[in-house]
Amino acid sequence: MASRRAELRGAGAALAAALLVSGAAMAQAPGGRVIYCCDVGTQPVCGDILPAACYGRAYREVSPSGTVRRVVPAPLTAEEIARRDALERGRRADEAARLKQLRMDEALLETYRSLQHLDERRDREIGSLDRSINSLRQREAELLERQHALIEEAAQAGEGNVPPVTEDNIRSLDSEIVAQRSVIDAKMRERSAVLDRFDEDRQRYIQLTSPAAHPKGH
């Protein structure tokens, strides 16, 4: 029985010593020192330098009197870092898009004095393209007419009697006509793009200059 009581007294002493570790560390620290504490399970672990057991955990900076001066959170996990970085990239992309739109809006308002001014600029650009397209089509018609005349000439000469130069000219005109039509198609695409651009600019200009864009008091 005496032996059993001795064992219990020894266990109690060991537990008390473990619970007083943090208090002892604080008591030994000078007034200006900082005690670093963290929780390992339900047990606080403290020291005048960050204990190894606190690495990778949240910890507290405590004054010798027991006042918590600062709480340092645990380091982020790899998933938390990835999520944070993704959010930051998204925020930066949104901000870049906002600034880009702001610059475009400022340029639009500086370029056109009014909606009428915008329409006049559009009409001039479309008019210039239309004149260019008409000129290209006239050239295409001339090439077709020349080719038709050569084909008629070859037909009259009969099979086997067509001069080689006539055949060469017909083939050459084929290539020129294809190239001319390619240029016309490119100009038509350019015309459509110009109309689309002016349509977008016009809609945005109306939005920027409408009363709703400048509410009273702002």
Strand, helix or coil for residue 36: strand
- Whether 118 and 95 share a structural domain: no
- b/e map 64-76, b = 16+ CB within 10 Å: beeeeeeeeeeee
Task: Specify if 121 maps to a domain.
Answer: yes
Task: Specify if 218 maps to a domain.
Answer: no
- Whether 206 and 174 share a structural domain: yes
**Distance separating alpha carbons of residues 44 and 41, to the nearest angstrom:** 8
Counted domains in the chain: 3
Q: CB–CB of 58/71 below 8 Å? A: yes
Q: What long-range pairs does 32-38 form, CB within 8 A, spacing at least 24?
A: 33/64, 34/61, 34/62, 34/63, 34/69, 35/61, 35/62, 35/63, 35/64, 36/60, 36/61, 36/62, 37/62
- Whether 190 and 202 share a structural domain: yes
- Whether 122 and 204 share a structural domain: yes
Q: What is the pLDDT of residue 216?
A: 61
Q: Is 144 exposed, middle or buried (0-12, 13-18, 19+ CB in 10 A)?
A: middle
- Whether 133 and 205 share a structural domain: yes
Q: Taking 90 as the threshold, does the pLDDT of residue 88 lie above it?
A: yes
Residues 58-76 pLDDT 10s: 999 999 888 999 999 999 9
- Whether 118 and 174 share a structural domain: yes
Residues 139-154 pLDDT 10s: 999 999 999 999 988 8
- Whether 13 and 52 share a structural domain: yes
- Whether 105 and 192 share a structural domain: no
- Whether 104 and 136 share a structural domain: no
Strand, helix or coil for residue 13: helix
Domain extent at residue 191: 114-213
- Whether 125 and 89 share a structural domain: no
Residues 156-183 pLDDT 10s: 888 878 888 888 989 999 999 999 999 9
